[in-house]
Every structure is written in structure tokens, then in C-alpha cells.
Amino acid sequence: MTSIYDNNSVKKMKLSVTVSKNTSKTVPVLLGGDFRESIRKAKQLGYDAVELHIVPGDINVKEIVSCCEKNNIEVSAIGTGRSYVVDKLSLIDDSSVNREMAVARLKEYIDIAESVGSYVIIGCMKGNMRDYSLYDTYENRLSESMKQVSLYAAEKNVLLLLEAINRYENNYMNTAAETLDFIKRNDIPKTKVLLDTFHMNIEEKDMCESIRECGDMLGYVHIADSNRMHAGGGHIDFKKIIDALKDINYNGYLSAECLPIPDGDIAARKGLDFIKPLL
């Protein structure tokens, strides 16, 4: 199947939509149910790719590859958050066993990403600090864990995306600047920044300037409006966001990661119809 790593496949910004086994009104994933049906639906709606939110046992990789090839659609990224939410795996956990399991799980995701030709997102699996006075200890754990994961990713030629998440969901590394600084200061290979417009609206003083400061270290963008509805459902000025992305020659994915309200199909369609004319 076509890989997002192919030079000819990423010439300009493309649109992706989030897909998972199950969806909920409180979880920002739009299409749920049978993965093959969701892939076909994403293509019918007009999306260029799907972002798969999974645990490794959710999918038959060969079936996903075949379905994507038949529908001429790509897998933009693998979302890993369920391994934190459901299995409580964290790269900074106080238990070394838990951290080792988190690293091992991410290697499984990387293997899947290699097969489908996608990126791997690391967001919730950063974990939360239980004692903020031990910030350096926790950050060192993240650095050690990320280096193990990123070296494996480099062997597989899979790019990692470290996501800046708002303070109400993740109690450290909430901004673009903090995330970029961590990657550079700790010399984490094969890793770029993932920015989410919903989180940015909470944390960034100037969303567009934060995008420009990331420059070529911006690897991926999640699109959701200020209220986590589809683009156009809140008050974010997406024209300015797209213009800032154009300023840095961003040619990656804009992935609709928003609440399935009133339902996933409608939100996916409305978000696409709102963003596409701005590209």
C-alpha cells in the first residue's frame, strides 16, 4: 500500500479522520465499528487517510493493508492512548515493570506502523506525574523510555509524534515550546511534535506563533475546535492556523480528532467541508 513516507504521497496538507473499534460522545474519535467499513466510509467522505486508535489486538494488519489499498487511502498515524486509558501503561510510571511494559507496547505499535506505513503518536502514554516536586526524576524517566522507543523506531523507519496535551488531561509538557524543548534537549531521534488545536487553544498564548516556532519539527496536526467539536463548531480561526502552517511549508496531515457530535459521520463531514476550502 502507499506509505506516507513515499515522497510523492505527501506534497501538500492532507486530511485524515480518527477511527477506533468503539466510539463515545465523550471521546474524540469519529468513526467506529468494523475497521474496514470505517476505512471505506472515510474514503467516501473524501478523506485522504485514517488515524487508527487501537490496542495491538484490535486489528488484522494484513486486512487493514488490503482494505487501504483497495480504497486508495493511507493510514496517517497510530493512536496509542487506549494503552494508557485501559491498560494504565505509562513511560514515567513509578514501577519500572510498568515502564518496561509501556516501552514494549510502543514497540508493538511501531511494528504495526511499519506494516501500514504510518507514524506513531505518543500522547497519553507520557503519563502523569504523581509528585510534581520530582519533576526531574519523571522527565529523566521519559527521556530514558523515549530513547529506547525512538531507537527502535529508527530501525523500523517509523516517525514518532510527541503530543502537547492540555494541563487538565496531562500535568506536564503542555505547550509546543515545552515539547519541542524536550525533544531537542534530550536528543530524541526520529521524533517530532504533534500539535492539537483544541489543546493549543487552552495552552498557547499565540497558536500561530507556536506553529511557526516548531517549523520543520512539526510532524502532525490534530484538528478540533475550541469546544472539541468539528472544525467550524467553535471559535478557533482556522484560516489563520492554515496560513501559519503554510508559512512553515507544512505538508503533513490534518487529522480530525474531535467529538462525534451529533454523530461521527456528520461531524466528520462537517469538519472536512469546513477545512478543505482553506487548504
Catalytic sites, residue numbers: 163, 257
- For residues 165 and 194, what is the distance between their CA atoms, to the nearest angstrom? 9
Q: For residue 135, with 0-12 CB atoms within 10 Å meaning exposed, 13-18 middle and 19 or more buried, which class applies?
A: exposed
- For residues 139 and 124, what is the distance between their CA atoms, to the nearest angstrom? 15
Q: Which residues contact 131 (CB under 8 A, 6 or more apart)?
A: none
